[in-house]
Amino acid sequence: MDAVNIFLAEKGIYMLTVILFFLGMFGMAVCGNYMKKLICMNIMQVAVIFFFLCLGEKDGGTIPVAMEGAAGADDYVNPLPHALMLTAIVVSLGTSGVGLALLMRIKEKFGSIEEEDIIEKEKGEEADEQHDYQ
Amino acid sequence: MNGGRSKRLREKSVFKIVGIVLLMVLVGLMFTIVDRLPVIGNPDSAPNRHVSDYYIEEGPELTHSPNLVTGVLADFRGFDTLLETTVMFLAGVSVAMILSNRLKRHWDAGIFRKDENFGGYEVKVIMPILIPVIIVYAFYVLMHGEVSLGGGFQAGALLAMAFMLYIMFADLGKNKFRITQHFTVCVAACGVFIYFLTGFLCMINGGRFLEYEALPFSAEHGAELHATGILMIETGVTIGVMATIITILEAVVERNSLNGRS
């Protein structure tokens, strides 16, 4: 039992992030609603951010702000993943914004953001065009 | 027609099951490599060595910024943040371009107040107290970015949040405080320009791009110039992020109000 506890303490968080990542991927593959696909993409991004932040963790490290009496590298958590993920969060905001804008246009054009409705509508339009052509 | 629909449903459930099985296999494969990943919290693991030690030990000396994250973000990796802000600006521009192809008139901010339950009297009392506090806090976060926790991105998000609360709850009919998305795109461009300008100012005295010690200001020693440079680019980032978030909001709201009417 001890071995399992130690393993979970050392590596357990990786499993959680992997599960979260693939949960997002599964949603993106399976969901028929484009809004849900977008939310699942965000879940994937959050999983990647968690993964990077896990790598920067240190036992006994404090927040990465230089202070009196703590000068060694072991006294602070790793600032590099934090700096990288700060920008990743902002980019995920931008991608969500562009995705939402595209969703609005799709909704205007097809009247729905369900994949099946859109496919049906496109088929209907093609049939109409062929009919006109003949 | 009915048969086709049930057939499609069957296909879809098969697709779902295949997806679940495939993802299970992928998760299993990922679990096998968990063994090779570094132990959480181990100070000697590979990601916590190499360049990270250099950043922590030399960072406060070299960048004169006690906040190591800001030091890495704004000084060691200034180019990264520069292009990051540009990406943010491009996201705002693309949202405005996607959504504004047939805009003819400006919105009158009535869209949020169609539903009377949205903002009650309590909200209208509390917002004038809350919004100035949020703005003051945003400026505190911006100015304190290099000394303690804070930075440009957070300050920009806070300012955008204050604006969002304002247009949601304030009585715009009386105050006539309106911003269009074209204006906010220009503001975002100004934010990115401030960042670039800081980089080019460093080149006047013969320094490299974004080498803050070569900024053409008079200072006692290099530390003040570093603080000035970091504050300048943080201001640019703040303006850029704030304007981009407001652009996305404005574009969506304008489009929505047009659709509601036509």
Q: What pLDDT digit, counting tens, does each position of B5-18 carry?
A: 677 777 778 888 88
Instruction: Tell me how many degrees the CA angle B39-B41-B44 measures, rounded to the nearest 5.
Output: 75
pLDDT tens digit sequence for A18-43:
889 988 888 888 888 899 999 999 99
Cβ of B27 within 8 Å of Cβ of A65? The answer is no
Q: Identify the band that residue B116 occupies on the pLDDT scale cut at 50, 70 and 90.
A: very low
The structure tokens listed for B246 are 């407001």
Chain A CB within 8 Å of residue B8 CB = yes
Nearest Cα to B152, choosing from B195, B122, B105, B93?
B195
Regarding the domain delimited by A2-133, which CATH topology (the fold level of the hierarchy) does it fall under?
Helix Hairpins (1.10.287)
- Taking 90 as the threshold, does the pLDDT of residue B182 lie above it? no
State the count of interchain CB pairs (< 8 A) between A and B.
159
CB A14 within 8 A of CB A57: no
Chain B CB within 8 Å of residue A100 CB = yes
Chain A CB within 8 Å of residue B40 CB = yes
Place of tokens 């959504």: B99
The structure tokens listed for B143 are 């100015």
Chain A CB within 8 Å of residue B260 CB = no
Chain B CB within 8 Å of residue A99 CB = no
CB B67 within 8 A of CB B149: yes
pLDDT tens digit sequence for B42-83:
777 777 777 888 888 887 788 788 888 888 888 888 888 889
Cβ of B31 within 8 Å of Cβ of A73? The answer is no
User: Distance between CA atoms of A27 and A43, rounded to whole angstroms?
Assistant: 9
Chain A CB within 8 Å of residue B43 CB = yes
pLDDT tens digit sequence for A46-105:
999 998 888 888 887 778 887 777 677 777 888 888 888 888 888 898 899 899 889 888
pTM for this prediction: 0.83
Q: Identify the band that residue B117 occupies on the pLDDT scale cut at 50, 70 and 90.
A: very low
Contacts of B252 in chain A (CB under 8 A): 100-101, 104
Nearest Cα to A73, choosing from B45, B148, B146, B75?
B45
DSSP β-bridge partners for residue A62: A76
Phi, psi torsion values for A65, nearest 5 degrees: -125, 120
What's chain B's average pLDDT? 79
Burial of B49 (0-12, 13-18, 19+ CB in 10 A): middle
Cβ of B149 within 8 Å of Cβ of A26? The answer is no
- Taking 50 as the threshold, does the pLDDT of residue B1 lie above it? no
Contacts of A72 in chain B (CB under 8 A): 56-57
- A residues 54-73 lying closer than 8 A (beta carbon) to B: 54-61, 63-67, 71-73
Segments making up each domain of chain A, as ranges: 2-133
Chain A CB within 8 Å of residue B126 CB = no
The shortest C-alpha distance from B121 to chain A (Å) reads 31
Percent pLDDT > 70 in chain A is 96
